[in-house]
Amino acid sequence: MRHPVLILSALAALGTNFGAHARAITDNNKNGALIHRDPAVIPVAPIVPKPKPIIPPPKPAAPIEPPKPVEPAPPPESEPNPVTPPNKGDAEPPTGLLKDPDALATLKNWKCGREKRGEDLFKRGGPFKDEDTANPRKYLEWLETMAKDEEGNRIPREKIVFYTKGTFSMADAFVKDNPGYTHYKIIFEDGGSTFMEDWNQPQNFEEGYVEAQSSALAEYSRNPIVFGADKTIDPTDTTMWAKAEYPFMHNAGTITKMKDNAKKPEDVDFQIDPPANAPC
């Protein structure tokens, strides 16, 4: 029987190696204690506490501004008066100022009625129409906003010359001797302004256009000079000066009557007081 012999030989060899291993462990352990190796025990790393987050101090609160005083609401604007449409009777300006003794009063009433109704005087509505040729407000609108002389300059308010009672030749000679001065005929008839161009050369001037132009020029002027005028206005005087020009010079300033055949602005005869009030 060979098997029991082989087993015994193996055990004998194992006993020799096992004893040597036991002695080596005892020699390395001073206390002679056996070291047990338990595979179930796993070393655990030490728990280090996390540092607490540093919370910055709160920012100081912004200063609270005192409430602004409440401004009172502006009072409501009053509604403008409604514009009354023109009456059928005054849709057209009056005509025949020199023929009718009461025409001046008619012209005043028509002019003032248009102003009270709130007509927009300085609205640029050109080119002007034929029906505008007897409207003094349209001529004043043109003088205020558009009129220019031959050189492209505005027509000066302070250098307008008027004339009456057959003194046109004196006024015309004075204007020629004193550059910058002008008169009615240069502006409206002789092509010395942009009148016909701005007015689109109307083919038909309605009756009364001369009176309308003269009134507008008088109202446009400042510190005008005049030839042939009297110091006061005769109520029976039917000249253009007395009926259509002088009454509209309430804002003209100083009105100067020149000496006959005056050559220079210094050739003054006397001063004429302007009308105390507007013609309406």
Out of 200-209, 211-220, 237-246, least confident range:
200-209
Average pLDDT of the chain, as a whole number: 74
Q: Give the pLDDT mean for 242-256.
A: 94
33: left (phi over 0), alpha (psi -120 to 50) or beta: beta
Share of the chain above pLDDT 70, in %: 58
pLDDT for 274 equals 92
Q: What burial letters (b/e) apply to 87-108, b meaning 16+ CB within 10 Å? A: eeeeeebbbebeeeeebbebbb
Q: Which pLDDT score, from 0 to 100, does residue 84 have?
A: 38
| % pLDDT > 90, the chain | 38
Q: Is the pLDDT of residue 8 over 80?
A: no
pLDDT at 11 over 60: no
pLDDT at 103 over 70: no
The pLDDT-based confidence of 226 (bands split at 50, 70, 90) is very high
pLDDT confidence of residue 218? 96
Instruction: Please check whether residue 113 is in contact with residue 189, taking contact to mean a CB–CB distance below 8 angstroms.
Output: no
SS3 273: coil
Q: Whole-angstrom Cα distance, residue 173 to residue 185?
A: 13
Please tell me the least confidently modeled range out of 102-106, 170-174, 229-233: 102-106
**pLDDT score recorded for residue 129:** 76
Across 69-86, average pLDDT: 54
pLDDT tens digits for 108-164? Answer: 544 454 444 334 444 444 567 777 888 898 899 999 999 999 889 999 999 999 999
